Amino acid sequence: MAKRPLPPELRPLMPEECVHYRDKLRAARYAALADAESFTEVCFVLEALGLRLLGTEGIMGSYKPRIAHYAKGSPLFGALPQSFPATFKSFDALYETVRRARNDAMHTGAYARHATEAAIELCIGLEEALMAKNERRVGDVMVKSPISAEPWQPVAQARQMMLIHSFSFLPVRLGDTWYLVSELGLARYLSVEFDLKVRRLGYSIEEAKADGMELKEIPQQAILSATDSIDKALNAVPGQEGPTLWLVIETVGPAGSQWSNLAGVLSPFELM
């Protein structure tokens, strides 16, 4: 395949910029998954990325060559559309679908769903492409600003957070040890007769643990720092069965009075 020429006056992204725009694309993709009519969030990120690469304000069509230069770093936009044309769409096809929808006022029903599907596929490929040449560290791929529970919060609040965000796990620290409230452990704990369920929903997480609610203790080797390599994460718990969630902890504060802070979480989903 002929090598695609560099767009004129390409303004390369710094590694930290690649991470920034990857995070923006991921957040926009999550928003589009939650609401099909939110696909315009993806358009805003594409326009911001295009403006950065072009160096001057334009329209989505004018940004395409420069974004395409980065897109070729993903196999989703390379050999796969040629080998499996019924399954994978090319960068050009996806970008044009999103561009046309961006300029169209009709963003409802089947039309919005089609545009959203294209926007999500475009995001997945661009997220991978932006990180293709970066040395990936835990801090580059983790989910930042994670939601966690406090020991004093009632079980009902933990359940509500998990249902609202479709979480399988919710981190909580009891003393010096990190645990995960799991959907399975919570389901088992609350699968009782109605009056007992009501009482258990009012227990604090700490009280519920003492009452027998299953919490998954996080082994020390599954506690990571943002500067750790991805290989360390993948090899941290050899032989572990079932779903995995790594916690990324940072130490903050002046010497002598430092404390640990949950900086992020990482699951195999972010590493696929």
What does the pLDDT read at residue 158? 95
Name the DSSP class of 219.
P
Using only C-alpha atoms, what is the Rg of the chain? 22
| Whether the predicted pLDDT of 184 surpasses 80 | yes
Q: What is the mean pLDDT of residues 109-119?
A: 80
The letter for the amino acid at 268 is P
Domain residue ranges of the chain, discontinuous segments joined by +? 15-134, 140-271
Residues 46 and 96: their CA atoms lie apart, in Å, by 12
pTM score, two decimals? 0.72
pLDDT bracket for residue 255 (50, 70, 90) = low
Residues 170 and 267: their CA atoms lie apart, in Å, by 12
What does the pLDDT read at residue 115? 84
- What pLDDT, in 10s, does the model give residues 69-110? 999 889 889 888 888 988 889 999 999 999 988 877 555 566
What does the pLDDT read at residue 160? 95
Local structure of 215: helix, strand or coil: strand
| Whether the predicted pLDDT of 66 surpasses 90 | yes
Residues 211 and 106: their CA atoms lie apart, in Å, by 54
- Domain 140-271 class? alpha beta
Residues 190 and 217: their CA atoms lie apart, in Å, by 20
The structure tokens 């390599």 sit at 229
Residues in CB range of 94: below 8 A, 6 or more apart: 118, 119, 121, 122, 125
Q: Output the 3-class SS for 50-69.
A: HHHHHCCCCCHHHHHHHHHH
| Whether the predicted pLDDT of 123 surpasses 90 | yes
pLDDT bracket for residue 239 (50, 70, 90) = very low
Residue 35 dihedral angles phi and psi, to the nearest 5°: -150, 115
What does the pLDDT read at residue 172? 94
Q: What is the mean pLDDT of residues 252-260?
A: 58
Short-list 68, 224, 223, 67, CA closest to 136: 224
What does the pLDDT read at residue 39? 80
Token reading at 15: 């590694």
The structure tokens 């389901």 sit at 187
Let me know: does 226 contact 136? Beta carbons within 8 Å. no
What does the pLDDT read at residue 165? 83
